Amino acid sequence: MMLPLKDIRQYISGLGLAADGKVYIGKLDSKKPKSIGVYGRGATGEPHMALGGLDCTTYGVRPVSLLVHWTRSQPESEAAAYELFEKLRGVTSLTIGETHINYLRLMVPEPQDVGTDDDGVYEYVIWLDFLYERKR
């Protein structure tokens, strides 16, 4: 079983950054301020497979993109994105749902500024990979 986005959404929500738990999976329908979107990120290349096949493969990788959709204030939005980034960077031990996370790999050196949406709300993106223990 892979690491489901709903469990990652719950983890991000538990960090307490998004107002009133405004953490969404896949799509920000109403684009409420101070919210975070959790998206599966496409990956390329071959699947991770140990010598000996799937039975010998002990971990999986879940690539994720986080969209920090904050306010019309660039400084406030940037600060929120960096706060989330630092919380993720500071993780020393993590279990999400019933899945042990072996390693949280940030795929960008800092939150990426992607400008504003149509309403002038600033957005930042953080790419990361969750390397998780496979259940066999």
For the stretch 118-136, pLDDT in tens is: 999 999 999 999 999 998 6
Sign of CA dihedral 47, 50, 55, 60: negative
Coarse DSSP helix, strand, coil percentages of the chain, rounded to the nearest 5 percent: 25, 35, 40
Does pLDDT of 1 surpass 80? no
Report, as an integer, the average pLDDT of 109-126: 97
Phi first, then psi: give them for residue 40, nearest 5 degrees: -70, 135
CATH numbers and ranges of domains, the chain = 5-133 (3.30.2000.10)
pLDDT of residue 29: 66
Q: What's the CA gap between 42 and 77, in Å, rounded?
A: 26
Q: What's the CA gap between 129 and 132, in Å, rounded?
A: 9
Token duo for residue 123: 């957005």
pLDDT, tens digit (0-9, with 9 covering 90-100), for 24-73:
997 766 778 999 999 999 888 888 889 998 889 999 999 999 999 999 99
